[in-house]
Structure 1
Amino acid sequence: MLTSLLPGFRHLRTPFALGVLCAFQLWILIGEYVPSRSEAQGFIERIYALGDVAGRAAATAAISFLLYLVGDIMRLSSNQMMSILTRLRLPKIAPHRFSTLSAQSRYGLNEFAANAFTKRADSSSTDDVSTLAQKMVMEFTEIRMRLIANHLDVYLEHDRYDAEADFRMNVGFYSVPLWPIIAWYWTPWMLLGVLASMVLFLNGLRARRDANEILVQAIVSRIVESRFYTEESDRDFDQSVSNVSITRRPSTR
């Protein structure tokens, strides 16, 4: 039962942490403007009264659910975050650190993609192999679904790294504004926390590369079939069939 519940807890963790993180930043910025219980009037007073009626446990559950919704709305995928970083030109500083696919995985995927052209009469170019490898990277979502259906143990291992990557990358990304806010209200030394956020984000990227490594190995080891690879290989088969000539022998009657 615990094994079946763990994936759900992993996916709840990231949006809730983001909601808490954003609420904490708002509290630092505008917390002093929120009236206390004795000073509250109008709508704010009704909110306090609602907490009294519902009880502390119900109020805590409602706030937790609200924080989860806020975090789920703000959560970004790794592709969205990498797109933002690309616009900031950060990946050009250290391309190997800001990549979601390790050099070993990329090499193995290109070597596997080259096998789709081995039976063809004309030799494939490097661009053809790279294009096919990129198509297989875009197919990772489908590969995940096939692992769920046929190889759940492999998928659970991938999901563990994927959830860790999602948590670390999002928390590291959204915690960057926290440190300048605290530095403004407290001490400039808190700006050093930006480095901690960057390290956390890079650790998330490393976990993302580990998660993608499992998908690459699943394709290369033929645990699951890549649709694009199969289509490219079938072109060799179709070509060989079209080149077959049928010779009719003369009748001996």
Structure 2
Amino acid sequence: MATGILWMMSVWALFGDDVPTESEAGGFVKRLYDLGDAAGKPAVGATILFAAYMLGSILTVSANSATFQAGRIWHAVTKSRSHALSTPETMRREFSMSRWVQAELAQRIWADLPWMENMTMGRRDGATFEFMHLLLADINQLDTRLHAKNQDLYQEYDRRAAEAALRINVGLSVAILSISLAFSFTSWCLFGLTLSAAFVALGVHRSRQSNDVIIQALLIRVIESPVLEGQHPHVVMMRNQVTEELAQTGRVATAS
């Protein structure tokens, strides 16, 4: 609802002067005023809040999607510098998981998919990154599995994810409101973008923490993933490629 109210304030800042007063209104707008007078202020307030709730529901942004976009923006800003994370996809992983969780997950991938030992180190690192990317893409399915397996962990994940979504969406709404106020009144209102950036940054951090809960559940085997089970189509394709290459070179494959 908070997001919807901020969006409605933005619209009012831009177009409020174009709305006729009750004495100036005619036709359909006049009937709306009459209906508001008949229903009373409490009913009008409740209607506005309901409209704000509906608007907020429609315009809500996924926390993980916002986190991904934050990674892409950060990459665009830093790509001209000597930065170890050099692709938008790598930045998605960096923004979506803590570094120590990434390291633990890499060890789990290598343990569960032993055929990767037949790869060169560079190729194995690349495959590990690809499988992490697949796990992140499947995060919505994994939280459903966690809900069925462990309520305590799921509630912790859900709380963090909800906080992340609230902070990110409020931050984006504050940005729109700041721009609307600056356009209609004074450019000083653009200072609200600082507050917006702070909210989004806090939301991205909280989103990463919520994803860490899912990954930790994978690491301690509370839930399983088709990627780590070797059943994901991309993992199967990679394993078949490695097996074919080993057959062509006459090497003996590590058991899968």
TM-score (norm 2): 0.75
Q: Tell me the residue number matched to 2:187.
A: 188
Give a deviation string over 1:211-244, Cα, whole Å, max 9, x none: 01101100001111122211269989xx9xxx9x
- C-alpha contact 1:102 1:213 (8 A) present in aligned 2: yes
Q: Which moved more, 1:63-72 or 1:112-121?
A: 112-121
CA distance in 1, matches of 2:118, 2:216: 28
* 2:194 is equivalent to residue 198 of structure 1: no
- Distance in 1, matches of 2:206 and 2:38, equals 45
Amino acid paired to 1:22 = W
Alignment of structure 1 residues 7-86 onto 2, 5 Å: 16-82=1-67
Q: Distance in 2 between matches of 1:120 and 1:207?
A: 33
Shift of 1:166: 0.5
- How many angstroms does 1:28 deviate by? 1.3
Task: Letter of the 2:142 partner, please give it.
Answer: I
- Residue equivalent to 1:146: 145
In structure 1, runs of 5+ residues without a counterpart are: 1-15, 244-253
Name the stretch that deviates more: 198-207 or 170-179: 170-179
Larger-Rg structure? 1
Contact 1:165 1:203 in 2 (8 A): yes
Instruction: Give secondary structure in 2 for the equivalent of 1:38.
Output: coil
What pairs up with 1:1-253 in 2 under 5 angstroms?
16-82=1-67, 89-93=73-77, 99-118=95-114, 122-123=118-119, 125-231=124-230
TM-score (norm. length: structure 1) = 0.76
Query: How far 1:24 sits from its partner (Å)?
Result: 0.4
| 2:2–2:170 Cα contact (<8 Å) kept | yes
Q: Aligned in 2, Cα 1:231/1:184: closer, same or farther, shift over 3 Å?
A: closer
Q: Report if the CA contact (8 A) 2:3-2:169 is conserved.
A: yes
Tell me: CA distance 1:121–1:186, structure 2 relative to 1, closer, same or farther (3 Å).
Answer: closer
Identical positions, percent:
28
The aligned residue for residue 250 of structure 2 is: none
Whole-angstrom distance in 2 between the partners of 1:35 and 1:51:
15
Task: Summarize the Cα distance change of 1:232–1:110 in structure 2 as closer, same or farther, 3 Å threshold.
Answer: farther
CA distance 1:132–1:185, shift in 2 (3 Å) = closer
For the residue of structure 1 that corresponds to 2:175, the secondary structure is coil
In 2, are the aligned partners of 1:116 and 1:232 still within 8 Å (CA)? no
Cα deviation for residue 168 of structure 1 reads: 0.9
Shift of 1:176: 1.5
Over 3 Å counting, the alpha-carbon distance change for 1:131 and 1:153 in structure 2 is same
User: Comparing both structures, which one devotes a greater share of its residues to helix?
Assistant: 2
What SS is found at the alignment partner of 2:20?
Answer: coil
